[in-house]
Structure 1
């Protein structure tokens, strides 16, 4: 007869979830997920020069669009399984994405049903692929990113990459050094050799890695509220905030170095949203920060502020504004030919046709009234979702993030009226990413998940099941009564 040996105290393992005494707790790395793919998309979109495309393809595809196409394939496949953590269920943003995609398919079918010249048909194919990539980015965000911490990861990467663009812009503006010419990766080529540094009113206009100074300016105006959000939140929570203030300063400097009117018009719209929702103390801090920033710009680069002011005071003599107004009659004639579905996505291009420095006019010409309503509706859905999430959330950080995303999306909504936004890859990719981010926040708010909520089952929109009270209890429950059937997943 053998005796049962009792294990010594040092052999007993600590309870599951408890730290081992005397051993430092190491952070557990998060497995790769949709937020990881979102960060990869942000880095590639904003660091790889926008005019670099893959070699050897029949039409131009940027590395960021390749990530978007992968996201579209991932999203499609993920909805055939319950093991990849993708959210199920309808949201306003996702519904508007489907409406937008359906309008583009209808326009493509209508345009290709008749005769299209070869060059326009190639561009229609190219723009359909590009639009599919951008739709993939929205779906990757709205259905793939689960949890506020993962959403914060993506948005923080946007703020950091915006600061990096600010550094590149400073090198271009202050020292006439263009790092983009040394940033050509193997397998890529430039679509055009136009410089990333232009000139306006005797001053350099820089584009950083984007396709044009106007695009760079609007991108900075979109990112600045995000950097300010994390700077204010860190300051109010007693955490280190200097890094986020540096990011905000670099982004603001980049916007100034672009010497673009569109940026300040869009930023004014975003400021209206923020000032309405910000508390009084934050408004005062923001006013003081703006004053310090303006004085700093005046001392470092004296002529920039005067050039920017001239952009607004000299509107009557602005040739670019007169050119935009002259395009309206030609646009009206073309829209009358195909009022509902347009002449075809991507088929109106320069130098074959006039340039419309207005995305709403260009979209109406190419995709008709239905297409332009779907395009604008996508941004409206994002703004509504962000503000609705703010209303539903009780967490101050979540409420502030909702206000921030709404302000960010006001910028492209206004900017689309000042230049052909959809023709530029970086601002388009960032706009669609932020629409998806608003959808993520709305899904989080709708299901009551905040940073302090219980752990959430990554496959379902509900808290993870609690562990049983005793391994010996029957599945019927501790009180012996039959357990109720599991609740249907509300995210399906």
Structure 2
């Protein structure tokens, strides 16, 4: 942490610009560029001359890491008081373990075709770290947190809309990328299961696609309850966000996937306590109507979905996952402490379809512990913000972010999520936001006047919307 120049007092969180450069490029703008590259450009599109290193979102993440490092080295005349962030510590530990595993793998010697995946995986981790750290250190007010959350929800809505068009047309609608000079468009797009088109959006696989949509559901519910995180708007302005939420649910459930359904259930159940009591039954009823409309619109969807669970004992993917867990001790025993190297246990050896098991092989028990600690500390940070804050917007945002991270953490037990760029990048954005909302709440408690709790509405009793006192004017 940089020292303060003598004679100057820290500025309040509401006035601090965070990691802001010239021309208005603050942390929110930088992360918005990342979201556009992550969600807007198909994850199987790479810059031809760079090969596996050429994914635009990964390259921008590396730029963000360099930007964060340089900003930390600069002398600051004023700064806000530091807030202890366990998320940052857990990520640094994870990165150190990955680097130790990387060095050990190279010292052991690797086949030529494993060196490039090993280097690429480390660069991807650094890129995700750039996204995470810029959010943690650059976003310090609830105004910026909600501003970025709106953009995350809009990005998820556009991704779901693309998935809906893909399901209707039966085409990926992204083949034009193959004719763009200087880029390579790999495999991906829509697939069929039980005669039903499974959309993938810009993701490489429908499961990755549905994971992102399910993780965005709690955020969109929060946006709907808070009228787009704008507490001073009219009561009817939240309708648009309920439509967005219904779209996410509609598209995610057409994936004909057990993992997608499990993720959806976790996201909704985790978010129900945040919904005011008088709105819970209408929300649940609306969900039932959406599900019924989906079943009526897609012939065979209900039977296929039920069959996924009734025939689980004979399902090939389930048997493969069970077999992988049986052989996990054998794979981990090669290097149980820090693993064989991040990203070099390739599908040609065995397909695990379980990110936690994959991490146990790649980074050992220390890597699993560090990754689990990062997700756990993110959920704790968001929940701590919810408990400590007296502003309804921060309470709602903290609850939604914790629910979103929990959803991804559970779904990662059903596929190797870190191997899929959009799912992994989206997770690190959410983890960073969990830390950011804790920072904003901690600064408000420290710098703003104490507001009697009885004067503010709670999530259970939503009175007339109030404007959080830490937000600068939007007029």
- Rg larger in structure: 1
Pair 50,85 (structure 1): closer, same or farther in 2 beyond 3 Å: farther
Report SS of the residue matched to 1:77: helix
Output the CA distance in 1 between the equivalents of 2:246 and 2:273: 22
Pair 143,267 (structure 1): closer, same or farther in 2 beyond 3 Å: same
Contact 2:358-2:416 at 8 Å conserved across structures: yes
Contact 2:35-2:152 at 8 Å conserved across structures: yes
Tell which deviates more after alignment, 209-218 or 261-270: 261-270
Q: Who is 1:172 aligned against? A: 166
TM-score calculated relative to the size of structure 2: 0.85
Contact 2:226-2:393 at 8 Å conserved across structures: yes
Q: Who is 2:46 aligned against? A: 53
Query: Shift in Å at residue 136 of structure 1?
Result: 0.7
Output the CA distance in 2 between the equivalents of 1:286 and 1:454: 30
Contact 1:422-1:428 at 8 Å conserved across structures: yes
Provide structure 2 residue ranges, at least 5 long, that are not aligned to the other structure: 1-22, 449-466
Q: Who is 2:102 aligned against? A: 108
The question of 1:155 aligning with 2:149 is answered: yes
The question of 1:282 aligning with 2:279 is answered: yes
Provide structure 1 residue ranges, at least 5 long, that are not aligned to the other structure: 1-29, 457-492
The question of 1:443 aligning with 2:439 is answered: yes
The question of 1:365 aligning with 2:365 is answered: no
Q: Who is 1:354 aligned against? A: 350
Q: Who is 1:415 aligned against? A: 411
Deviations 1:324-358 (A, max 9, x none): 1112233221211210011111111122x111110
Q: Who is 1:21 aligned against? A: none
1:305 corresponds, among 302, 325, 330, to 302
The question of 1:187 aligning with 2:182 is answered: yes
Contact 2:141-2:471 at 8 Å conserved across structures: no
Q: Who is 2:323 aligned against? A: 326
Report SS of the residue matched to 1:342: coil
2:117 corresponds, among 110, 114, 123, to 123
More helix per residue: 1 or 2? 2
Q: Who is 2:468 aligned against? A: 452
Output the CA distance in 1 between the equivalents of 2:149 and 2:471: 22
The question of 1:252 aligning with 2:249 is answered: yes
Query: Shift in Å at residue 282 of structure 1?
Result: 2.9
Q: Who is 1:62 aligned against? A: 55
Counting only pairs closer than 5 Å after superposition, residues 82-97 of structure 1 correspond to structure 2 as: 82=75, 88-97=82-91
Output the CA distance in 2 between the equivalents of 1:365 and 1:305: 37
Pair 108,271 (structure 1): closer, same or farther in 2 beyond 3 Å: same
Pair 454,159 (structure 1): closer, same or farther in 2 beyond 3 Å: closer
Pair 148,454 (structure 1): closer, same or farther in 2 beyond 3 Å: closer
Contact 1:199-1:205 at 8 Å conserved across structures: yes
Query: Shift in Å at residue 375 of structure 1?
Result: 1.2
Output the CA distance in 2 between the equivalents of 1:438 and 1:297: 33
Pair 214,447 (structure 1): closer, same or farther in 2 beyond 3 Å: same
Q: Who is 2:427 aligned against? A: 431
Q: Who is 1:214 aligned against? A: 207
The number of residues matched between the two structures is: 425
Contact 1:172-1:197 at 8 Å conserved across structures: yes
Q: Who is 1:266 aligned against? A: 263
Contact 2:157-2:248 at 8 Å conserved across structures: yes
TM-score calculated relative to the size of structure 1: 0.82
